[in-house]
Structure 1
Amino acid sequence: MRFIGLLVLTFFLPAFAYAALININTADATLLDTLPGIGPSKAQAIITYRNGHGPFVKIEDIQNVSGIGPSTYADIKSLITVGDTGTSDSGTTTATSTTTSATTTTTLSVGGTPPEYIPIPTLRIVTDSDRTVSSGADTVFTAVVYDGKGNKRNDAVVKWSFGDGMQRTGASVYHQYYNTGEYLAIVRATTSSDGGDAMREMIITVEDASIKIASVSARGISLANNDSRTLDLSLWRLSMGGREFKIPADTQILAGRMILFPSQIIQLPISDTASLLYPSGEMAAMYPTATAEQPSAPTVSFNKVQTVEPFINKATDIQTHEEAVVAPAVATELVAVGATLPATPSSDSQKTKNLFGSPWLLGLLSVIALAGAAFVFI
């Protein structure tokens, strides 16, 4: 009896272990959703890809589904299978239909060999992994596409989506991130001749570049990396004396270090000024560093002025007998600002003095006095 039990386990245990794996060619969205990292949207994407491209030939092909990258595949590869994709030895398929009265059974036999399954070509994209770039700098993104046989596919159409709203097409493109942060960039390759399709994801970390031109001399141009990371200066340019030197690809400066570009190599005319340019031609640093000019302190000067006595008109109009209103003198009319003004006599005393000092009034009073004396004596 024990021998029979062991024999049963020997035959059925592999079947149980195989049944524990999820067949990505037959599983529905609910079953696919149970895989780690696969939500409802990715489960539906697997089914959509399967319906459009046919069954998966190997489990690695699930990475061609949008949204499933290497990290997700690493979590689920031990839990999935593509099943048996081979064909049955039997060339006959039997379909049986039974009527509602269960009295007549019809058997339909279809002979022949099923059509051969032609798998979709598997493309492989070779490009950079997650990387850190400098904000404001044009960065080159390159992808090389191979098919499943290792042949380079130059006919593949490569499209980039950089996660900041910009898309570009080409195996080698430039892109400039304007703001710091983390971006999810996606590159997709397709071949129209055989329907090949592949996709890669990468995380792009954008940081500000802290680099400056430390010195310019007959020895060359020195650049200082004040950043805490290694800076990639591929295809940046040095400009001096009206000429430019393109920095070769894969030229990098270690964090906190300074390097000299010798004049024997850059072959630029010696000048007092120099510039470091991004690959796009925009200014990254200049020498000498432009500083804002500070305004000079105001100069206080003292001018010697002469004291001038104000002019006072003593003429009085006795015909109108109107009191003149004298406006105060304006300070700007005096040559010396703040000069002491002489005391002005009161208007009443001045009028009285002017009245009795008039010769016409004295003559009139004399005539009146003579007339009075004549009247008395007469």
Structure 2
Amino acid sequence: MDDCDLKKLVVSPGTLEPPFQPKITQYKLTVGVEALKATVNAMPSGNGASYQILGAAGSKSVPLKEGVNKIIIEVAAEDGTLKQYIVEATKLTASTPLLSGLKIAENLPLDPAFSMSVYEYTCTAPIHMTSVIAQPTVPDNNMAVIVNGSDVSNPVQLLMGNTKVEVNVTSANGTQSQIYRIIVVHARFPWSITFAHPSDAAEFECPIILKAFYQPVSIKGSDHKHIFSESVVKFLTRKTMCDPIDETPFAQDWYVPEYELDRRMMDATIYCCFKYRGCPNAMALSELGTHIQQCSFRPPAELDAKDVTGTSWYQTEFGLTPKLKHAIKHSVEARNWEKNLRDQVHGDNAAMLSSDAENFIKTYRAMVSKSGTFCDVP
């Protein structure tokens, strides 16, 4: 009887943020300059309950002016209990360049969750993913949107480490623009990467750990660009805050992401990570994630020891064979100084050795006492 919740709330045009839930009473939405009114479609959950839009004189529509418009939906339960749901509808001007929604087509969650007034985001892509497609939503069809300088439908190829996805939205009248930036972090390969050509290894390996760059960065202002993997150089310099090559103190905002280097590295030829298990394939680094998914030499999730010890390469390198590859000879010989020492301390007679030890301790104590100090020798 006192149920004053809504079980449905739709306001058009626009999309509620956050999505409607009966217990949430505060919402926002954004509409373009061409929107003249907002129409409310609601349904109370309680029998006998009703609702009205305050100030709308019984209408289900509210006229919109530029800026923020507050729409108050008041629900009355059968027993008279009241509850209000408030929607702040922002009508953009023709010169306002904002998105009303943004997501990645591959359902990678953005961090933080999208908000029209937040312009920087990150998300993480699995190792087998080679590209992503950004899906921006505009509140006004007269707004123009491009992604990384091209059509929004074009996929963005992922790099080895971080990939920058820039969504540029232009206002309805074409006078203003705003960039929303997503940094897509490609999950790191858990296996070592081996370049097929020595020249690629020299160009694309971190000089500190001698492994393929992951999220390469250069030291700002360094001569000939001192480039490292980001996590490696940050850990190495966490206390010194100096360039590890020439010890120059870091400037503010001292590292610069090397996206172009990462892009070139994706074209380098590498061997399959499971070459040691017999995979003969070589490919571009950009194809490695897809190849690994279907590589027949990939080890199972739960590895049986026999899968390793039974292979020909293991038997060749470590296996036991009836005939040893190399003859091994051992000999035991007592050297002259050892013989003399044993003769001086009565050979192997344990009682005599113990007696000699006690005498040596007494002699030592006597010598120490004469020098004026005494050390308690057990």
TM-score (structure 1 length as normaliser): 0.20
Higher relative contact order (CA 8 A, sep 6+): 2
TM-score (structure 2 length as normaliser): 0.20
